[in-house]
Amino acid sequence: MKIIKPSFVIEDEIDGKKILKNLERYARTCYKSEDKICDGSAEKLIANVIKRGHESVIEHEKVTVRLICDRGVTHEIVRHRIASYSQESTRYCDYHKKGEIQIIEPLFFVNQPEKYGAWEKAMEETEKAYNKLIELGATPQEARSVLPNSLKTEIVVTFNLREWRHFFKLRCSPAAHPQMREIIIPLFQEFKKRIPVIFDDIEVG
């Protein structure tokens, strides 16, 4: 068994300024005001579009991200409707053949040795049970019934920029699950750094 921390990879080459210029061209189609395009006009126009709530324009651009996290977190992620998902499948992945299962460390137990120890023991027993079932002839889709929420998984997520805004507002909130915030707040900060204007009005608590 291997205990790892969550992480993410932004799969797309993000050119934030190019994204804004594209969005400006799409938005100006509505008014046939392409003649007003100049240096700095994209930032101003898109900021105004967002301020006025006309966010359908920003749906034209998308970003794809690979999240490495526990399965409990992905159960919440896939509730977002306007998206494409590709997730590591416990039906087909044979973790016995890979030599070990990987588990995401729960940040809320890290400085609580008694709770951490109880969790770690449960994970070790889970791995033993999974391996035993495979050795007895169970298929991966049968043996997965003993796998925990803490199991590491990879999910590739594609949202348009409007849905990313919605996602970050919900999943960076203090009301969100701690393990969700652990991975999504750094992702949000990376988006904010790479793409001007689009996320400037979103505050993380």
pLDDT tens digits, residue range 123-163?
A: 999 999 999 999 999 999 999 999 999 999 999 999 999 99
So what CATH class is 1-14+62-205? alpha beta
For residue 81, the model assigns a pLDDT of 87
Q: Supply 120's token pair.
A: 């770690």
Task: Tell me, yes or no, if the pTM score tops 0.85.
Answer: yes
Q: What average pLDDT does the segment 154-180 reach?
A: 97
* H-type alpha helices, the chain: 16-29, 41-51, 71-77, 95-98, 113-135, 140-143, 161-171, 178-194
Where exactly are the structural domains of the chain? 1-14+62-205
Count CA within 13 A, CB hemisphere, residue 147: 27
- Is 31 buried (19+), middle (13-18) or exposed (0-12) by CB count in 10 A? exposed
* 171 noted as active-site residue: yes
Catalytic residue among 162, 165, 171, 181: 171
Given a contact cutoff of 8 angstroms between Cβ atoms, the answer to whether 187 and 8 are in contact is: yes
Is residue 177 very low, low, confident or very high in pLDDT (cuts 50, 70, 90)? Answer: very high
Please, what is the average pLDDT of the chain? 96
Secondary structure (3-state) at 62: strand
List beta partners, residue 156.
66, 86
